[in-house]
Amino acid sequence: MYRLDNKDYDVRISERVTLSVYEAAAYTGIGTNKLHRMAAEPGCNFVIYIGAKRRFKRKQLEEYLEAQYSI
């Protein structure tokens, strides 16, 4: 639940544009350590850094996983 201008917002993970590593792990079933390793690979297009925070672009992460045979 998010609070903005004294209003509460509850956004489902499936509707968010970016996910934290823990949200991405819950959403995909992939462990946080593996997600960190995947994000560190050269050419990774499904991660965005906001300051020191690493966020996963949900749609690009889904597309990456759909194209993979194994990870």
Contact in structure between 3 and 9 (CB atoms under 8 Å): yes
Condensed to tens digits (0 to 9), the pLDDT of residues 20-33 reads 999 999 999 999 99
1 Cβ neighbours under 8 A, 6+ residues apart: 8, 9, 10
Q: Report pLDDT for 67.
A: 94
Residue 47's pLDDT band, with cuts at 50, 70 and 90, is very high
Tell me how far apart the terminal alpha carbons of the chain are, to the nearest angstrom: 32
CB 12 within 8 A of CB 3: no
Which pLDDT band, with edges at 50, 70 and 90, does 10 fall under? confident
At 7, the pLDDT band (50, 70, 90 cuts) reads: low
Q: What domains, with CATH codes, occur in the chain? A: 17-67 (3.90.105.50)
pLDDT reported for residue 6: 60
